[in-house]
Amino acid sequence: METALLRFRVSFSCHPHPHHKKIAAHHRVNNEIPGGYEDEWSPKVLSRRSLLATASGLSLASSTSLAFPGEGLAVVKQGLLAGRVPGLSEPDDEGWRTYRRPDEKSGGHGVGWSPIIPYAFSVPQDWNEVPVSIADLGGTEIDLRFASPKEGRLSVIVAPVLRFADNLGDNVKIENIGTPAKVINAFGPEVIGENVEGKVLSSNVAEHDGRLYYQFELEPPHVLITATAAGNRLYLFSVTGNGLQWKRYYKDLKKIATSFRVV
């Protein structure tokens, strides 16, 4: 304990950084922030009692948020796993892999939403998952991104249908939302960031295992979109590439786009 306290004290005294005051302000003792924390919680006047209480709080927080062995780990296991969870199969004879959204992957849109129904698609073996940022186009509704430096990139947007209508229930089909034209006009901007009027080159309706999929090709920008619905969510699967990628790998990009399934 003495060693831990010494290290804690040194970390305050050896790094006089302006952010330390802000960080210290959030360490509560008995659910209260000591008054005048900008002075009393500075390295010069931090008492041994405050240091002991703060170190104890940090130890408890660490065991919970970082999933150290003990009760904190049990708490983490009860929730959904955050971040990226691998879901790619091994390459088949043609070098293509299938991605299936893992059941353990976190995601959703707040309290009351059912778990996201898994989806799957196929990609060439040089495609891999890339991090998703909430600052990206599509915001927090982007569930997944994949990319290939050679061929292009893709994304999966999972949007609550309540943004479109409030009387569709919890087992929505894409045809309940509307016609292909209605869906692409309403949700296409989610993908390309602008109105889709005049950009839809083609549209098609495919059926797989009783579920309808609306398929679109837009230009510009070069993008293929597959849309369907399941549960209380709309799925927008988009595949895109720059001009050269579109010209060279259109066949692969088209195959990826039409491989999307909600499973």
Cβ-proximal residues to 234 (8 Å cutoff; 6+ apart), any chain: 158, 159, 160, 161, 164, 172, 174, 177, 183, 187, 227, 228
Taking 70 as the threshold, does the pLDDT of residue 123 lie above it? yes
Q: What value does the mean pLDDT of the chain take?
A: 75
Any domain includes 22: no
Lowest-pLDDT choice from 5-9, 111-115, 151-155, 250-254: 5-9
Looking at residue 76, its pLDDT comes to: 31
Higher pLDDT, 74 or 87: 87
SS3 readout for the chain: CHHHHHHHHHHHHCCCCCHHHHHHCCCCECCECCCCHHHHCCCCCCCHHHHHHHHHHHHHHHHHHCCCCCHHHHHHHHCCECCCCCCECCCCCCCEEEEECCCCECCCCCCCCCCCCCEEEEEECCCEECCCCCCCCCHHHEEEEEEECCCEEEEEEEEEHHHCCCCCCCCCCHHHHCCHHHHHHHHHHHHHCCCCCCCEEEEEEEEECCEEEEEEEECCCCEEEEEEEECCEEEEEEEECCHHHHHHHHHHHHHHHHCCEEC
Lowest-pLDDT choice from 79-88, 194-203, 223-232: 79-88
Any domain includes 228: yes
- Average pLDDT, integer, range 76-88: 52
Tokens 């904190």 label which residue?
Answer: 72
Lowest-pLDDT choice from 53-57, 117-121, 244-248, 257-261: 53-57
Looking at residue 170, its pLDDT comes to: 87
pTM: 0.67
**208, 261 Cβ separation under 8 angstroms:** yes
Q: How many structural domains compose the chain?
A: 1
CA distances from 231 to 141, 151, 173, 223 (A): 15, 32, 8, 26
* Dist CA 261 CA 212 (whole Å): 10
Any domain includes 51: no
Looking at residue 242, its pLDDT comes to: 96
Looking at residue 69, its pLDDT comes to: 34
Looking at residue 83, its pLDDT comes to: 47
* Dist CA 140 CA 158 (whole Å): 9
pLDDT by residue (tens digit) across 139-176? 668 999 999 999 999 999 998 888 777 888 889 999 99
pLDDT by residue (tens digit) across 20-61? 444 333 444 444 434 443 443 334 434 444 434 444 443 333
* Dist CA 238 CA 220 (whole Å): 14
pLDDT category at 185 given cuts 50, 70, 90 is very high
Lowest-pLDDT choice from 14-18, 69-73, 130-134: 69-73
Percent of the chain with pLDDT over 70: 62
| Residue range(s) defining the domain that contains residue 198 | 96-262
Taking 80 as the threshold, does the pLDDT of residue 220 lie above it? yes
**209, 95 Cβ separation under 8 angstroms:** no
Taking 80 as the threshold, does the pLDDT of residue 195 lie above it? yes
Any domain includes 197: yes
Taking 80 as the threshold, does the pLDDT of residue 183 lie above it? yes
CATH of the domain at 135: 3.40.1000.10
Any domain includes 218: yes
Any domain includes 173: yes
Any domain includes 212: yes
Any domain includes 162: yes
**46, 36 Cβ separation under 8 angstroms:** no
pLDDT category at 84 given cuts 50, 70, 90 is low
CA distances from 82 to 65, 76, 77, 107, 158 (A): 12, 10, 11, 8, 16
